[in-house]
Amino acid sequence: MIETIATPKTSTGKSLRTEEMIVNMGPQHPSTHGVLRLEVVLDGEIVVDVIPHLGYLHRCFEKHCEHMTSYQQVIPYVDRMDYVAAMTNEFAFVVAAEKMLKIEVPERVHYIRIIMAELQRIASHLIAIGTFGIDMGAFTPFLYYFRDREKILELFEMTCGARLLYNYMWIGGLSHDIPPQFVEKTKEFCTDFKKTLKEVNDLLNYNEIFIKRTANVGILPKDLAVNYACSGPMLRGSGVNFDLRRDDPYTLYNKFEWDVIVGKGEMGTVGDVWDRNIVRQREMWESLRIIEQAIAGIPEGDVQKAIPKRIRPVPGDAYGRIEGPRGELGFYIVAEDNVTPYRIKARAPAFVNLSVINEISKGAMLADLVAIIGSIDIVLGEVDR
């Protein structure tokens, strides 16, 4: 990221001297979703320039991965990257590793992984929309969503014992098979959750004040989104019909019936904050569709059959990518003749999406800047790694 220090402009009119003001938004600001620091140049309430400063949560994830005793040990580290969607990170890593090691996993593992990934996508979107609501001043939808996120966490806890950082997907399989009551509980969740989705649509997404605050704000045009390599709801909100689950299918996603949600600019312009938010909201419906199909057709099998006893790959490299809740999450693994990877590079969607903030928030108001940060849905664990 560009490390420039902004210089405020001073303008002397005929009688009144005005000055641009530099404000540090973060790292302790309540709406920067963690420890992001934005250096904001303000002309009154109007944002003139935004310079993000990163690295407050840098934990040398990529370097750590080179010093393990096994490839499997990388997975707990991957969990801690995007801590609100840990399951997705594991998924991306095992997809990349299995591609490199050419492991074929049983069909049951594929199904469970898809169910877990979609549940995690819902859980992550719940936080995204909930905190976005808080940014807009609406506190209540956040807690409505947290109630349902709790049910998802209970499903995860039931399966692998952990609620936040799971270490559940292993290279070649899973740490545990799903417990017998899991199928029933998931079905129950799917029916219950639809009610909440409708409720929050009424309370937040179609609320007149909310629409006033978000429509025509922070417009990200199609070409700009593509040029900045945005992905996920950010890209689809701008009207680009692209989803890795459909366009570069990994595991068994091409088996299921579902639609790619694209922002249409119903309330304002295509690519505004409202579009990005509603894409997340509607994606949860699609995730529910996938979960319902997957849970109905889950085959029998041993989930740990294909786990290699010892991983020592032939030197080479592989890039595996999946559609995470925030966008394209990819891992590039370079292997040498050793038990640990030579180099791991993560393509973090939140980091890439954040890079566009300077372009889309110039000329917006300070309150809009908060809306824009919220709509990008950053997780600083992933941005800083």
Partner 1 sequence: MENLIAFFSDPIVTTVLLALIPLVFILVYALVTLYGEMKIAAHIQNRLAYMETGWHGVLQPIADMLKLLQKEDIIPESANKFLFILAPYLVFMGTYASFAVIPFSSGFIGSNIDLGIFYLIAASSLVVVGLLMSGWASNNKWSLFGALRSAAQIVSYEIPGVLAILGVVMVLGTMNMQTMSQLQDGGIQNWLIFGGNFPLAQKLALLPFMVILFVIYLLSSMAEVNRTPFDLPEAESELVQGYNTEYSGMKFAIFYLAEYANLFLVSAVVVVMFFGGWSSPFGSFMSGTVWSAFWFIAKGMFFVFLNIWLRWTLPRLRVDQLMYVSWKVLTPFALACIIAVGFIMVM
Q: Which of 54, 158, 224, 366 binds partner 1 (CB under 8 A)?
A: 366
CB closer to partner 1 out of 147 and 163 = 147
Rule CB under 8 A: is residue 370 a binding residue for partner 1?
A: yes
CB closer to partner 1 out of 27 and 76 = 27
Whether the Cβ atoms of residue 361 and residue 370 lie closer than 8 Å to each other: no
Q: Which of 60, 143, 164, 314 binds partner 1 (CB under 8 A)?
A: 143
Rule CB under 8 A: is residue 207 a binding residue for partner 1?
A: yes
Rule CB under 8 A: is residue 218 a binding residue for partner 1?
A: no
Rule CB under 8 A: is residue 31 a binding residue for partner 1?
A: yes
Rule CB under 8 A: is residue 205 a binding residue for partner 1?
A: no
Q: Note the helical H segments in 29-181.
A: 61-65, 74-79, 86-101, 107-135, 140-160
The first and second tokens of residue 313, run together, are: 């790959």
Q: Which of 1, 21, 60, 314 binds partner 1 (CB under 8 A)?
A: 21
Rule CB under 8 A: is residue 134 a binding residue for partner 1?
A: yes
User: Nearest to residue 283, comparing CAs of 377, 203, 368, 369?
Assistant: 377
Rule CB under 8 A: is residue 144 a binding residue for partner 1?
A: yes
The first and second tokens of residue 173, run together, are: 């399989």
User: Shortest approach of partner 1 to residue 31 CB, angstroms?
Assistant: 4
Planar angle of CA 289, 170, 281, nearest 5 degrees: 25
Rule CB under 8 A: is residue 210 a binding residue for partner 1?
A: yes
User: Which positions ≥6 away from 188 have C-beta within 8 Å?
Assistant: none
User: Nearest to residue 172, comparing CAs of 316, 345, 291, 313?
Assistant: 313
Q: Which of 85, 129, 138, 288 binds partner 1 (CB under 8 A)?
A: 138
- State whether the Cα torsion 239-132-87-149 is positive or negative: negative
Residues that bind partner 1 (CB under 8 A): 21, 23, 29-31, 45, 133-140, 143-144, 147, 203-204, 207, 209-210, 212-213, 365-368, 370
